[in-house]
Amino acid sequence: MDIFSSILFATIVAGTPLIIVALGQLIAEKSGVLNLGAEGMMAMGAIAGFAVTLHSGNAWLGVLAGMAAGAAMSLIFAVVVLTLMGNQVASGLALSILGVGLSAFIGKPYESDILPTVGALRIPLLADIPIIGAPLFNQQALVYFSWLLFGGIVWFLYRSRSGLILRAVGESPASAHSIGYQAIKIRYLATLFGGAMAGIGGAFLSVFYTPLWVEGMVSGRGWIAIALVVFATWRPFRVLVGAYLFGGVMVAQLFVQGSGLGINIPSQFLSALPYLATIIVLVIISRDQNTVRLNAPVSLGQPFRPEA
Amino acid sequence: MLRLERRAEASQTMSYASPLIAILLMLIGGLLLFTLLGKNPVEGFKVFFINPISDLYGWSELFLKATPLMLCAIGLAVGFRANVWNIGAEGQLIVGAVAASAVALYFYESEGGAHVLILMVIAGCIGGMLWAAIPAFLKTRFNTNEILVSLMLVYVAQLLVSWLVHGPMMDPDGFNFPQSRLFEDSALLPILIEGTRLNIAFTFAVGALLVGYVFMFRSFAGFQMQVAGYAKDAARYAGFSAKRMIWIGLMSGGAMAGLAGMSEVAGPMGQITDHVSNNYGFAAIIVAFVARLNPVGIFFASLLMALLYLGGEQAQQYLNLPSSISNVFQGMLLMFLLGSDVFINYRIRWKEATA
């Protein structure tokens, strides 16, 4: 592959977990639930995916396990904030701390293991297109999954009846409840979906991307995904674009260092770029408060309890 | 079926009982965890919670570990009371440690004297405040979410210290290990009790708790922040400056976290490495919540959290469990607390299911 194709390829791979996690969070937030625990759910998805893949030899069982682990974590969160009406910000933080700690604890024995690389899934014909063919169509299966997920979510949110109900719950749970929708149940489902996607995102990192387990390997991607949803002003297409932008920033360091351009920047400075970029995009987007306010689900982060 | 019923008035009793319930649930969870791991739960409990504090040295270590937690937590609590969510104390601690270390290394092989430590304290506080000033500025100027910004800066701070100890601050005679020179005695905090590692930073922490108490309950600014925390609109109507509260909240968090960083490098570490923080900045968030943002509570919650750290070390040594078990206990504690807080405003009632 030439340099352009390889940069594109690496960008797409790096952006994929962000897309999956951020789209999951988007659904949860559209229902009014702000779960800051993405980092912890991803960490649990990563270790569950890694351990199951290692023991079973099947990467897809690993992805399923990661999904289940993420969903299980989000269930804890959902019980605390939806049934017990805990503070969403604090509970999300707690979930992050718990998930990162628990994954480090469970993962200790796995730190020296390496998984076999999973081959790419080549799409015939399309992969033969010059320059963009290989980066787009000779990819990990989860890359295609992220595109399907994107399409599915766009359809669900804007073309399906259930999506309309979900958005109604996020805008005004009391109104949705009063016309007969079970707001709490819908929020539960949305939160679980967010957790499941975060788990898949985590499993992608440990099973396909690295493929190994290191404590703290999620390294802020969960938080970046949450920032991405704000940056995208809760619109799926912007999540997609934003995730690839961040993917590009993440792989930039590899190419700058490997380019032999004679640029001698300490690696730590380049590694800090994604975090600094996150801050910069947050500043840009929040300068215009009206855009944020118009697009944010009105009840985001607010507890709701139907007073029967 | 069981139903939650709103109380007419928030229960004061439950707001104090709920942290105790959470601690109890955490202990039960711990016993279960030990059992699941095939360890004798009673033995595990003893190793984790009793052994670390079975002698005077153990207690001194407990107070030593609690020191950075108290400092970070009291600083954070000031902001949390006004809903200023600084969750980047970890990064502010690191930058404070870096600034203090820079002073210590600048005076390396100089005459020494009391000014070195005093300058280190000042540098630590300023370092932490500078790091916290970034989210404060962005929040007040551009309304940027302080949670995400302060958190992103934790990762940047970790990379910063990693670069420094691999580069400019690396010990020239250290065989390329990522750590600085060992500080000279003039850059180390005096020990409080002979034969232990407990140093004078503990008195800083207690002092900070007292100052925090006075600020929160005896000052007008503290009162304003309390009002803003309970009712944002009321505070705005009364003309309290929201920007000022954001600055106070983040600066107090930054200064105290920076001081905690200084007390680590000038205390038990005696140098700076890229593992300068032990998750204290995050654990302090849990401390602040368990303590109900109250300085007296922070004192005891820090001791509990310190015990979880020491217990983790013991579990690693004697039960062959990873020390990250401490983080599992910490996360469980906060989760149980947030869950049991429901009983402050609600009670459980048995109700016949109506068709």
Digit-coded pLDDT (tens) for A34-65 = 999 999 999 999 999 999 999 999 999 999 99
Q: Across the A/B interface, how many CB contacts are shorter than 8 Å?
A: 136
Do the Cβ atoms of A230 and B145 come within 8 Å? yes
Query: Distance (Å, rounded) from C-alpha B290 to C-alpha B77?
Result: 11
Distances in whole angstroms, Cα of residue B56 to Cα of each of A111, B61, B189? 36, 9, 20
Q: Which of B143, B331, B346 sits opposite A98 (nearest CB)?
A: B331
Digit-coded pLDDT (tens) for B157-200 = 999 999 999 988 998 888 888 899 899 888 899 999 888 999 99
Is B198 contained in some domain? yes
B149 CB within 8 Å of a chain A CB: yes
Question: Structurally, how many domains does chain B consist of?
Answer: 2
Give the pLDDT of residue A262. 57
Instruction: Kindly state whether residues B4 and B101 are assigned to the same domain.
Output: no
Is B313 contained in some domain? no
DSSP H or E stretch at residue B347: strand B346-350
Digit-coded pLDDT (tens) for B237-265 = 888 888 899 999 999 999 999 999 999 99
Residue B276 is encoded by which pair of tokens? 């300068």
Instruction: Kindly state whether residues B183 and B234 are assigned to the same domain.
Output: yes
Q: Which of B163, B282, B345 sits opposite A97 (nearest CB)?
A: B282
Q: Which of A40, A105, A271 sits opposite B325 (nearest CB)?
A: A105
Higher pLDDT, B39 or A236: A236
B37 CB within 8 Å of a chain A CB: no
Give the pLDDT of residue A259. 63
User: Looking at CA atoms only, how far is residue A168 from chain B in angstroms?
Assistant: 25
Instruction: Kindly state whether residues B289 and B159 are assigned to the same domain.
Output: yes
Chain A's closest residue to B287, CA to CA, is A94
Do the Cβ atoms of B335 and A98 come within 8 Å? yes
Do the Cβ atoms of B327 and A97 come within 8 Å? yes
Q: Which of B147, B159, B332 sits opposite A268 (nearest CB)?
A: B159
**CATH for A3-295?**
1.10.3470
Instruction: Kindly state whether residues B289 and B355 are assigned to the same domain.
Output: no
Instruction: Kindly state whether residues B76 and B13 are assigned to the same domain.
Output: no
Domain ranges of chain A: 3-295
With DSSP H G I counted as helix, E B as strand and the rest as coil, what are the percentages for chain A, rounded to 5? 75, 0, 25
User: Looking at CA atoms only, how far is residue B144 from chain A in angstroms?
Assistant: 5
Is B304 contained in some domain? no
Chain A's closest residue to B345, CA to CA, is A85
The domain boundary residue, chosen from B293, B313, B339: B293
- Mean pLDDT, residues B35-47: 88
pLDDT above 70 for B113: yes
What ipTM was reported for this prediction? 0.90
Do the Cβ atoms of B138 and A279 come within 8 Å? yes
Which B residues in the span 108-147 are in contact with A, Cβ-Cβ below 8 Å?
A: 134, 138, 142-145, 147
Give the pLDDT of residue B354. 54
The domain boundary residue, chosen from B273, B293, B313: B293
Is B216 contained in some domain? yes
Give the pLDDT of residue A258. 65
Give the pLDDT of residue B353. 58
Is B97 contained in some domain? yes
Is B137 contained in some domain? yes
Q: Which residues of chain A have pLDDT under 70?
A: 1, 257-263, 307-308
Instruction: Kindly state whether residues B118 and B223 are assigned to the same domain.
Output: yes
pLDDT-based confidence at residue B355 (cuts at 50, 70, 90): very low
Domain that holds residue B347: 1-37+321-355
Query: Distance (Å, rounded) from C-alpha B345 to C-alpha B306?
Result: 30
Digit-coded pLDDT (tens) for B71-108 = 999 999 999 999 899 999 999 999 999 999 999 999 88
Digit-coded pLDDT (tens) for A70-112 = 999 999 999 999 998 888 888 998 899 899 999 999 998 898 8
| Cβ–Cβ under 8 Å, residues B129 and B251 | yes
Interacting residues of B96 by C-beta distance below 8 A, sequence separation 6+: B123, B124, B125, B127, B128, B131, B254, B257, B258, B259, B260, B261, B262
Is B55 contained in some domain? no
Q: Which of B148, B160, B328 sits opposite A223 (nearest CB)?
A: B148
pLDDT above 60 for B59: yes
Instruction: Kindly state whether residues B70 and B27 are assigned to the same domain.
Output: no
Is B310 contained in some domain? no
B178: left (phi over 0), alpha (psi -120 to 50) or beta: beta
